[in-house]
Amino acid sequence: MFELQDAFARKFHYLRLSVTDVCNFKCQYCLPDGYRPDGRKSFLTLEEIRRLTRAFAAMGTNKVRITGGEPSLRKDFTAIIETVAATPGIRKVATTTNGYRMARQVADWRRAGLSAINVSVDSLDPRMFQQITGENRFHEVMAGIDAAFAAGFEQVKVNTVLMRGLNDGELGQFLAWIKDNPIQLRFIELMQTGEMDTLFERHHVRGAAIKEKLLDAGWQQKVRAHNDGPAEVFWHADYVGEIGLIIPYAQDFCASCNRLRVSSVGKLHLCLFGEYGVDLRDLLAGDGQQAALQLRLRQALADKKASHFLHQGNPGMTPHLASIGG
């Protein structure tokens, strides 16, 4: 088996697969004006997803995260989970969701083969939650988290984008929440997208500063598994839950990169911050194209850079996070 490996000896066991760029939330840091439909787009079909996942799995990928937009907006979302989970070689199927459909559907997702779930919760104050997301759905999302535990998930990961002057004062509330609950709370550093420079300058919180506070308070860092995401995870003897930090501006953030992205229209993105995508869709039309698809993936990896260019002020594709499953 030829594994997916780049020129820097990094191996890619983790695929982030976007299945739609539609989202029903209007988060300040992603889609502040809401989703704007493009009638020319057609998202990957179930059969295209099956062929794509099969090709990645044949080259060493064992974890797939299904993302959006909001992936649960697809009517065939449960079938997508089932298709990905049934692929030989795929051992872990995860999703990232805004949580608004979880209370009603998460048990079905679990039965279909979903093994891990991330939910976005940017505030534990319902009013601040609405201010950040543009939606008054805090209680629905929290009910969805409860439903996930009831469905058999042993841990739920919660994504929180920290923003100065909005939710950065809630650290104590978040810590109290995870003290007795098996939640991995993942603080994500706000990224400069190029289109929202003012938002970044006004609300950016340094992830490194949060890390210093955790270490000073006795939190200890865990060793990462080969198919873990980019979070630095910390545990504390007094807490059932954990804390994860995603700090894209940290030194050597890219050294442990192990993930590739495919957009909802079938473009391979070698980096969240890359500026172009490699079209794969013409090789997803039939089962007989697997060898050609794998060859294109290998060739594309030759162009993967050692690092992103955020430190030079180049945001790459980050203005379009919703379309590539950021």
Task: Round to whole Å and give the CA distance between 272 and 322.
Answer: 11
Angle of CA points 79, 81, 87, to nearest 5°: 105
Residue 190 annotated as binding?
no
What's the Cα-to-Cα distance from 192 to each of 184, 200, 271, 276, 320, rounded to whole Å? Answer: 25, 6, 15, 18, 12
Question: 7-12 — which CB contacts under 8 Å span 24+ positions?
Answer: 7/301, 7/302, 7/304, 8/304, 8/306, 10/256, 10/257, 10/258, 10/304, 11/60, 11/226, 11/258, 12/60, 12/61, 12/257, 12/258, 12/259, 12/260, 12/301
The answer to the question of residue 185 being in a domain is no
Range of the domain at 29: 14-159+255-312
Residue 163 annotated as binding?
no
The answer to the question of residue 218 being in a domain is no
What's the Cα-to-Cα distance from 51 to each of 56, 57, 76, 256, 275, rounded to whole Å? Answer: 9, 10, 16, 27, 25
For 250, the 3-state DSSP assignment is: coil
Task: Round to whole Å and give the CA distance between 179 and 177.
Answer: 6
CB 81 within 8 A of CB 36: no
Quote the pLDDT of residue 117.
98
Other C-beta atoms lying within 10 Å of the C-beta of residue 147:
18
Residue 102 annotated as binding?
no
Task: Round to whole Å and give the CA distance between 108 and 265.
Answer: 26
CB-neighbour burial class of residue 57 (10 A; exposed 0-12, middle 13-18, buried 19+): buried
How confident is the prediction along the chain (326 residues), in pLDDT tens digits per residue?
A: 678 887 777 888 999 999 999 999 999 888 888 888 877 789 999 999 999 999 999 999 999 999 999 999 999 999 999 999 999 999 999 999 999 999 999 999 999 999 999 999 999 999 999 999 999 999 999 999 999 999 999 999 999 998 999 998 998 999 999 999 999 999 988 877 666 678 888 888 888 888 999 999 999 999 887 777 778 999 999 999 999 998 766 555 555 677 899 999 999 998 765 567 899 999 999 999 999 999 999 998 887 765 545 544 554 454 444 444 44
Split into its structural domains, the chain has a count of 1
Residues found in the chain: 326
The answer to the question of residue 46 being in a domain is yes
The answer to the question of residue 36 being in a domain is yes
Global pTM value: 0.89
Q: Is 286 left (phi over 0), alpha (psi -120 to 50) or beta?
A: beta
CB 17 within 8 A of CB 284: no
Residue 271 annotated as binding?
yes
CATH of the domain at 55: 3.20.20.70
- Main-chain phi, psi angles of 231, to 5 degrees: -70, 140
The answer to the question of residue 278 being in a domain is yes
Task: Round to whole Å and give the CA distance between 232 and 243.
Answer: 8
Residue 272 annotated as binding?
no
Task: Round to whole Å and give the CA distance between 95 and 97.
Answer: 6
Residue 104 annotated as binding?
no
Other C-beta atoms lying within 10 Å of the C-beta of residue 151:
17
Looking at the DSSP bridge assignments, the partners of residue 18 are 67
DSSP 5: B
Helix 290-301 crosses helix 46-58 at what angle (to 10 degrees)? 60
The answer to the question of residue 92 being in a domain is yes
The answer to the question of residue 209 being in a domain is no
Quote the pLDDT of residue 1.
60
Residue 120 annotated as binding?
yes
- DSSP state string for 219-235: -EEPPPPTT--S-EEEE
Quote the pLDDT of residue 306.
54
Residue 298 annotated as binding?
no
Residue 23 annotated as binding?
yes
The answer to the question of residue 280 being in a domain is yes
Residue 211 annotated as binding?
no
Residue 111 annotated as binding?
no
Residue 68 annotated as binding?
no
Residue 115 annotated as binding?
no
Quote the pLDDT of residue 320.
44
Q: Which residues touch 91 (CB under 8 Å, ≥6 apart)? A: 62, 63
